[in-house]
Amino acid sequence: MTYLIELKGFQAELCTSELLKAHVLHLQTLYCQKKLLFCGPCKDGSAFFLFSAASQQEALNFLNQDPFIIHSIYQFDRIKEIRLATPENQFLLGK
């Protein structure tokens, strides 16, 4: 299953170089495990993660292990299960 998580409230003043490095290491680990499909910040102070996970709880566990969440750089906003539309599934044509 695929889960989109939106974060809010970026706190730049709390972000140290050590936290940034730990955050990136966490992302790299999840990406190498094929659990993190996409992530990135938005100009409005929000950010998104797209996780491949067995359950919503597993996706939230990935999020809650992130140093940016642990140290309140971002706050959780919402999670949604999504259906990926890709060339491989003909962008959900007929599904």
Over the stretch 22-61, which tens digit does the pLDDT of each residue have?
999 999 999 999 999 999 999 999 999 999 999 999 999 9
Mean pLDDT taken over the chain: 97
**Alpha carbon distance 20, 23 (integer Å):** 5
Average pLDDT over residues 85-95: 89
The pLDDT assigned to 95 comes to: 67
Beta bridge partners of residue 50, listed in sequence order: 4, 38
The pLDDT assigned to 94 comes to: 75
